[in-house]
Structure 1
Amino acid sequence: MSISEIPNGHQRWIGGNRIDLLENGEEFFPRVFEAIREARREVVIETFILFEDKVGTQLHEAMRAAAQRGVKVDLMIDGFGSPDLSPEFISGLTSAGVKVRVFDPGERLFGQRLNAFRRMHRKIVVIDGSLAFVGGINYSADHLMDFGPKAKQDYAVELAGPIVSEIHRFVLHAIAVGGKGPGWFRRRLKATHEHNGPAGEAEAQFVTRDNRRHTNDIERHYRAAIRSARQRIVIANAYFFPGYRLIKEMRRAARRGVDVRLILQGEPDMPIVKVAASMLYHHLLHAGVRIYEYCERPLHGKVALVDEQWSTVGSSNLDPLSLSLNLEANVIVRDKAFTQVLWERLDHLMQHSCKQVETSDLTEWSGWRLVRSFFIFHLMRWYPAWAGWLPRHAPRLKPLDAPDARGGATQTDAA
């Protein structure tokens, strides 16, 4: 079994959880670093991006200190998202006892990275099997306001309670199928697992996406929630180009009187993001969907809420990469208090930091636009099946050891 084939949990509602919304790096990083400093036995981190900047340095110091006092520290980074960590940075971790693993490292050809598809895009932290963080925030300084105009707007959640046991089992299994084996998984789970009693009142599910058994689980939960909506839907998503079925459910919801709102990028980090999303504006606006472009900074969030009870926070965008290729993880919450907090944050964003797109803002329809719309419609309808035709390699999870003589890190294949 490859690392991309990790089985999901039971995807059942688990009650008794405390779930706190963390907005941007200013709320997220201090909580994560404090939790690592307080860890007694184990720290497991998965992240798409880890940069060697002031945020990465703080994470580096926290992990080193934890490992040096005897805590088991496991770090998994993505080979595409975190390609340029220096040998000194890696050896500073491994020499202290931190286990560093790279998902699908990939070789460069003429300086270009070729491992662009099927990325490990999850952002998860689990501390002592009893506290977890899940969301869209990477370990990089561009998630802090003092980064400037390109600082990203993003969200994560801190979780305590029985749901953490599901997340803990998942991240340990990710390491085990990468080379450690089932025996290691059972021993590690037994050695570090604590029964997590009730910590709050929220119900939650931990839902992941992989390229074998759970290819569309996150999208399926989105569609089911939208179908059930009676009052409002708010989706804030950085990279928005979903499939035909999800668009159809949003249009149907708006036409039956649900207040459907999208918060999308107005100042994107990549211009193509806005171009792609804007191709869908005619279809959505004419069905009654309201679109808001966030214009202060690049939007990086992946959150949504439906009515007063349902919400989700995670790593999954609503685009072909996240819905059809990447490995993703979202927490789905059923709790009125949490959903109200998320609504207040998103409503503030729409009121103070967004421009609402009106039909009068759109370019008039033309023959070319009709032709382009036809092809876009069918691309959305069929791209999940097309994505499956791409080479389905078995990505490897490689541990990094001490730097070698070439100035890189020694990689031992554990797949």
Structure 2
Amino acid sequence: MNKPWVEGNSVELLINGEGYYPRVFEAMAQAREEILLETFIIFDDKVGQQLQQVLIEAARRGVRVELAVDGYGTADLPDAFIAAMTEAGVRFHAFDPQPRVAGMRTNLFRRLHRKIVVIDGELAFIGGINYSADHLGDYGPMAKQDYAVQVRGPVVAQLHASSRQLMAPVLEPPSQVRPLTQPAGQISAVLVERDNTRHRSDIEACYLQAVRAARHRIVIANAYFFPGYRLLRELRNAARRGVQVTLILQGQPDMRWVRALSRLLYNYLLRDGVRIHEYCQRPLHGKVALVDDEWSTVGSSNLDPLSLSFNLEANLLIRDRAFNQHLYQHLTSLASDHCKAVTLERMIRGYWWRAPLIFIGFHLTRYFPRIAGWFPAHRQRLKSVQPEVQAQGDLHEGNT
């Protein structure tokens, strides 16, 4: 990590779509000069349509709107949906769009998984929430539990610079907005990124540093938990030296194989005192953590091979007692009211037939970063999209 911690920020936790969408859409509606938006997924549902409308209105009143989506996560967005925005002046960019083969998406790895919004260089949002109705409670039992933060202050300049750098090949002319640097609060923060060039392991390194320094508590709530061997070892070592280590993981997964992989690691952690809770009320999609009384993080990065070794990710690190305590109280309530505790006794049952899988899973975490290096890394490049207007269709490459 080569960015400095920046003081003088305000950071507010936003929980689920109910907390996030009203804030971010209001901020977009009030934008004067520029909206930079990155996301993994936009669906053509009530949330995606609300995003579409607010961006169209912003573009029509002269705001520069740059929207970057992932070519895999947003591959099913209809051309007509995109065309309505581009005709109004929204500039729509896709990261690594690829044609389907036999109806299947082939661009599985190295996704644009970041979720960042920067408004006029003054206000920013970062977290794990996409633009889809499954982040709202009225979606039903499969509505996601997730988090983001609203940020003001000098650290917004880091988010603005990061988004501007990602979009640099398609920003014509380059952004002229100068981020404000005046203090907006008392919180210290820093943006941490993961990419496939200069920041391949920055997010994982920040987790490792925080866990190694922990004195009395660590709480991690993460949707897809299959981290590398070093982080597993440091969590176990922290529990051994008396730190209360609590993991909140998926108990009602949106993808069943995710929980199966995570459970291969449970024995290794439980036998040294790590506490594991499976969140059972709805699918957990969050990527948040706290250590001791000041350090917290909210962002897009899961603790799995895709996020730690392939995807473009972004997390905000936060140093503030009040924010840390607020997040701790929320996660503690989540664990006590909506989670099922996993015990070592429960995981030992049937251990004889799971032992080979546990062995394989453990060593996959140990060697995966090296294995990941065998896969070719495509260039981190956005392509501007200008679809033909039609009633239906999928996102495809347009003009570059």
Q: Considering the TM-score relative to the shorter chain, is it more than 0.5?
A: yes
1:135 — aligned with what?
Answer: 127
Match of 2:115 in 1: 123
Structure 1 contact 396–413 (Cα < 8 Å) conserved: no
The CA deviation string for residues 29-78 of structure 1, in whole angstroms up to 9 with x for no partner, is 00000000000000010000000000000000000000000000010010
Q: Are 1:380 and 2:365 matched, yes or no?
A: yes
| Structure 2 residue corresponding to 1:89, chosen from 71, 81, 100 | 81
Structure 1 CA distance, aligned partners of 2:389 and 2:26?
A: 33
Task: Name the CA distance, whole Å, in 2 between partners of 1:24 and 1:279.
Answer: 29
Partner of 1:308: 293
What is the 5 A alignment of 1:6-405? Answer: 10-176=2-168, 178-180=169-171, 184-185=173-174, 188=175, 191-364=176-349, 366-403=351-388
* 1:84–1:287 distance in 2 versus 1, CA, 3 Å: same
Structure 1 contact 15–202 (Cα < 8 Å) conserved: yes
Distance 1:293 1:408 in 2: 36
**Secondary structure of the corresponding residue to residue 70 of structure 1:** coil
**CA distance, structure 2, for counterparts of residue 300 and residue 401 of structure 1:** 32
The one-letter code sitting in structure 2 at the alignment partner of 1:359 is: L
Change in CA separation of 1:305 and 1:77 when aligned onto 2, cut-off 3 Å = same
Alpha-carbon offset, residue 367 of structure 1? 4.8
- Deviation, 1:377, is 2.1
CA contact (8 A) 2:59 2:89 kept: yes
Name the amino acid aligned to 1:199. Answer: A
Q: Distance in 2 between matches of 1:410 and 1:121?
A: 19
State the alpha-carbon separation in 1 of the partners of residues 105 and 53 from structure 2: 28
> What is the rounded CA distance, in whole Å, between the counterparts of 1:200 and 1:253 in structure 2?
32
Q: C-alpha displacement at 1:219, in angstroms?
A: 0.4
Please report how far the alpha carbon of residue 366 of structure 1 lies from its aligned counterpart in structure 2 after TM superposition: 4.6
RMSD (CA atoms): 1.6
In the TM superposition, what is the alpha-carbon distance from 1:394 to its structure 2 partner? 1.7
- Mapped to 1, the partners of 2:68 and 2:126 lie a distance apart of 14
- Does the C-alpha gap of structure 1 residues 256 and 113 become closer, same or farther in structure 2, counting only changes over 3 Å? same
Q: How far, CA to CA, are the matches of 1:265 and 1:352 in structure 2?
A: 15
Given residue 103 of structure 1, which amino acid in structure 2 is its aligned partner?
F
The whole-number CA distance in structure 2 between the counterparts of 1:410 and 1:209 is: 26
CA shift in 2, pair 1:360/1:87, >3 Å: same
Alpha-carbon distance between aligned partners in 1 of 2:258 and 2:396, rounded to the nearest angstrom:
36
Give ranges in structure 2 of 5+ residues lacking alignment.
none
* Kept in 1: contact 2:288–2:299 (CA 8 A): yes
Deviation above 6 Å: which 4+ runs of structure 1?
Answer: none
Shift of 1:378: 1.7
Quote the offset at 1:408 in angstroms.
Answer: 5.7
**Change over 3 Å in CA distance of 1:167–1:121 after alignment to 2:** same
Report the AA paired with residue 319 of structure 2: R
Partner SS, residue 386 of structure 2 = strand
Mapped partners of 1:85, 1:317: distance in 2: 24
1:74–1:99 CA contact under 8 A, matched in 2: yes
8 Å Cα contact 1:21/1:158 also seen in 2: yes
In the TM superposition, what is the alpha-carbon distance from 1:375 to its structure 2 partner?
2.2
- Mapped partners of 2:361, 2:387: distance in 1: 48
Shift of 1:391: 1.9
Q: Name whichever of 352-361 and 250-259 sits farther off.
A: 352-361
Change (3 A) 1:87 1:413: closer
Partner of 1:411 in structure 2?
A: 397
Kept after mapping to 1: 8 A contact 2:220/2:248 = yes
Task: Tell me if the contact between 2:134 and 2:144 (Cα under 8 Å) persists in the aligned partners.
Answer: yes
Does the CA-based 8 Å contact 1:95-1:402 persist in structure 2? Answer: no
Give the C-alpha shift of residue 173 in structure 1: 1.1
TM-score by length of 2: 0.97
1:57–1:369 Cα change, 3 Å = same
Aligned length: 399
> What secondary structure does 2:269 align onto?
helix
Q: Which amino acid counterpart does residue 364 of structure 2 have in structure 1?
A: L
Please say if residues 296 and 317 of structure 2, whose CA atoms lie closer than 8 Å, have aligned partners that are also in contact.
Answer: yes
Q: Give the Cα separation in 2 of the matches to 1:242 and 1:72.
A: 39
